[in-house]
Amino acid sequence: MMRFLLVVSLLFSLPGLAQPTSPADIHASLNRHLWDAARNGDNPVIREFVAANYDLNAQDANGYTPVILAAYHGHGDTLALLLKHGADPCLRDKRGNSALMGAIFKGEIAIARTLIAAPCNPDQRNNAGQTAAMYASLFQRTELLKALAAKGADMQATDALGNSVTSLGQGEVRGR
């Protein structure tokens, strides 16, 4: 608990930072610092949150977690740090997209490989019924598609519009 109080006092001693007035404001401000640290790959700040036993799965208004933010913004070392300390790589944002889907979209191949190795269902679907394999196929990430297949991903899956892994890989996209 003492470490947590140190983190709070350090964060709120930064110049120009508005001082929160309630526990809810403090919590919201700490969450923003956590998300910013993940987004920017600021590992020293992430380590302080880890040391304070802070919730590394906090989700913002879009449902983004530190894992999703680190993966999407290409911070593999930050992702590894978060995962090492128990952050959940399987959580999804409000659209149902996972960190893996974001990494595939952005072309973050090494990060996507790390997330494929995580203990998540390779067939997690977003709200449109799309899977990581569909993303890999659509964006021509052949090596990731092979890794997903090796993990047991359903290569016959279709989304809500009838798009499949195969059709997306061929550039045939329904519902555009």
What fold is seen in the domain 2-120? 1.25.40
**125-176: which CATH topology?**
1.25.40
Domain parsing of the chain, residue ranges: 2-120, 125-176
pTM for this entry: 0.87
| Predicted confidence (pLDDT) per residue in 100-123, tens digit | 999 999 999 999 999 999 999 999
**Tens digit of pLDDT for each residue in 2-47?**
455 445 555 555 555 556 578 888 889 999 999 999 999 999 999 9
Contacts 24+ apart (CB under 8 A), 62-66: 62/93, 62/94, 63/91, 63/92, 63/93, 63/94, 63/95, 64/35, 64/93, 65/38, 65/91, 65/93, 65/99, 66/34, 66/35, 66/37, 66/38
Best CA proximity match to 33, nearest among 110, 119, 18: 18
Q: Do domains 2-120 and 125-176 have the same CATH topology?
A: yes
